[in-house]
A and B are shown apart, each in its own frame.
Chain A
Amino acid sequence: MPAILEVENLVKKYGDFEAVKGISFSVEQGEVFGLLGPNGAGKTQTISMLTGVITPTSGKARIGGFDLHTQMSKVKEINGLVPQDLALYPTLSARANLNFFGRIYGLRGRQLKERVDDVLHVVALTERADQVVDKYSGGMKRRVNIAAGLVHQPRLLFLDEPTVGVDPQSRNQIFESVQRLNRERGMSVVYTSHYMEEVELLCNRVAIIDQGKIIALDTIKNLIAMLGGGVIYIGLASVDENMLAQLAALPAVKAVELVPPPVSPPALEGSVQEKEGKTPTANPVIKIVAEHNQEAVLNVIEYLNQKNISLTSLDILQPNLESVFLHLTGKKLRE
């Protein structure tokens, strides 16, 4: 089955600043594809180019077989966009909003009514469709925001951080809606987020994007496998090249490297260090990629005891997309 989206070396520049630095990826028909990256990584810029909101500086893309540059109106009919902002008219009802967004896609009469009723059902807002959007909760507004991107039945839906500021219940409803659209209607989805849990839950494949570049692209399973059993950060009183080589040779250790300043030592969300509000020390920190976390930790500590080297900090990261991102960039996703 041909890809519904093919992107090749897409670039967006603003003067000297390069917001998107030549990214390439493809999305298969019926796939939920994740764009994972921190704020300012270039996710929204990428989506904006692919939906015709902004013009790419260079590069190519084909959506549904149509060229982004020469067949934009066809591309726009295939695309659905759910922007990060609540792009709604708050003094109008949900139904009036959806009627309007349907009309600008050319829907009229009975067809428009059926489509609006359908998307209201998808986001579970049929009962309150005639209420003014301004009176809705944040989660309900998010759901109308999604419905507005669905009303013209797009083949490819771009969801840009759709759960920002949403309560857990609405977040779950949004996840269910996306899964149902994909499963029952075969809708392809490009889902951007800086929440790795969402991407892990929803997406088949993920592109990790940072500073305008895709730094990794694979299935979630393969991305996590890059880390083997996990990553261990160890702060030490002193480090030398010989010690790094000996640590790398220990059983269950895949690789060892000295983490360059100023990112050391990274405190991950939820880690002991972060919870206790500890500030980074000036001691050197080494990063150990382990085949098996527990076994690697035991071996490393035993080695350090034998050599009588003091341990100043210890962080053990379980393998997930967050630690993959940290491993690849030295930064947290939510930095």
Chain B
Amino acid sequence: MKALSITLKDLQLLVKDRGSLFQYFLLPLLFVLIFSGGLSSIGSSTGDTRMALAVVNLDGGTGAQSLLAGIDAAGGVRTELYDQAEAESLLDENKLGRLLFIPADFSAGLSAGRPVTLRLVAHPDASAQETESVMLVLEGVANGMTLESQILASLRQMGDMQAGNPDAAQAFSTDRLVAQASNQFEQSRTRPLIVVKQTVPAQQGESEAMPDFGKAVLSGVTVLFVFLSAQTAARSIYEEKKVGSFRRLMAAPLSRPALLAGKILPNFLTALVQILVIFLFGSLGLRLIGATPVPFEDAPLAVTLVSIVMALCASALGIVIAAIARTENQIGGMGTLVLWGMGLLGGCIAPAFLLDRYLGPLPKIVPQYWANRAFDDLLLRGLGLQDVALELAILLGFAMLFFVIGLWRFDFE
């Protein structure tokens, strides 16, 4: 209860501190807006939020036209036609994530009932989730076209037989028609006319996927600012020591762990509220301004757990800073250099896959990296709680390590 009194008091002080409130709640949202392009999307949004799919149409026949119309009508993906050379060049430069080739004999093959192959080429760094979505759309449209083509061909065949031999009318009983249709359904499944092949593996590891930038910014900013709050926690302890109230707390019948718990609990709670505010903005605010919302609702339990452990880790880091820094300038310096540096290294500002590429395993030494990875897995890759168990365990390990170092180095006197 006494520790809670300290927490309550610190929250009272925080409410009166406009600077800290700005840093906790408004600054992250500004970062999200600026870096996710949310501001620009207000003016430039066309309303079409479907994923663009570059297409090189080497056929140009009616079958290819039907395929493109089918893809556009399926929802989620819109086709954009490119010249082959230009498209391949853009794909090489990773300016196009995926490229669909419609072969020259597509329409003719379809008409003749010959199997044809559509080739989807994906850049190695393209988002695996998005490539998978495109594949699903393509396979759906291709299956539909295969079925349509085969049934029509079958009906045409039966019509021709009927016209050539009027006496054989009884041969096409209801049972035969149903059996014929079933046969065509089965053929369309086992021997499809249109086969979609992904010629370059989309990914060999999750780190190679390039996430949606807007979503990545939101999780990156969240992680960055939650860990920046460690500086506020450290400053609160420093201020307490500077004005002498820490001596008063030390003289009160309060154990040292309870005193420290009382000091970091406000930061922990504030960090949780901070995460909630940023995520609500990511879910509702971005939707309101026409940007793509971040799907926090897909894995609420996992997102909540990662948030709690991350807030705990940041608060414990605050004790470490308070234990090491001797002056207000040192706290400020650590906030600026160490926390922003850790944030940069941990993929809060630059995408993690880029850091992996240039820095190797180095980013893994900071907790921000693991928090970002957990959020990326949950929010961008659509993974679940079991998939972020490692990240959660490592973050918890960091939190415990920070507590131990903080308690060991903290100068109560």
Contact = CB atoms under 8 A, between A and B. Distances in A.
Given A100-B9, A106-B2, A89 B245 contact: yes
Given A86-B243, A104-B5, A76 B413 contact: no
B325 interface: no
Say what secondary structure dominates the interface of chain A: loop
Contact of B13 (A89, A106, A148): A89
Nearest to B249: A104
Say what secondary structure dominates the interface of chain B: helix
9 contacts: A54-B413, A76-B254, A79-B251, A85-B244, A85-B247, A89-B13, A92-B13, A104-B249, A106-B1
Interface in B250-264: 250-254
Contact of A52 (B2, B13, B246, B250): B250
B12 to A, nearest CB: 6
B251 to A, nearest CB: 4
Interface residues of B, number: 23
Interface in B222-252: 243-252
B215 to A, nearest CB: 38
Nearest to A108: B1
A83 B246 CA distance: 10
Given A83-B247, A84-B244, A103-B2, 4 more contacts: A48-B247, A92-B12, A100-B8, A104-B2
A101 B253 contact: no
B6 interface: yes
A177 interface: no
Interface of A: 48, 51-55, 73, 76-77, 79, 81, 83-92, 96, 100-101, 103-106, 148-149
Given A89-B9, A100-B9, A104-B5, A52 B244 contact: no
Of the listed residues B1, B13, B244, the one surrounded by the most CB atoms of chain A closer than 10 A to its CB is B244
Nearest to A72: B253
Nearest to A89: B13
B5 A103 contact: yes
A88 B253 contact: no
A86 B244 contact: yes
A148 B250 CA distance: 14
Given A91-B17, A104-B5, A53 B247 contact: yes
B16 interface: yes
Given A87-B245, A87-B248, A88-B243, A100 B5 contact: yes
A199 B1 CA distance: 39
Given A76-B252, A81-B251, A106-B2, A88 B245 contact: yes
B322 to A, nearest CB: 17
Contacts of B13: 89, 91-92
Nearest to B9: A100
Given A104-B6, A106-B2, A51 B413 contact: no
Contacts of B6: 104
A90 B16 CA distance: 11
Contacts of A100: 5, 8-9
A155 B327 CA distance: 36
Given A96-B12, A100-B5, A104-B2, A87 B250 contact: no
Contacts of B245: 87-89
A51 B250 CA distance: 8
Contact of B413 (A53, A84, A91, A103): A53
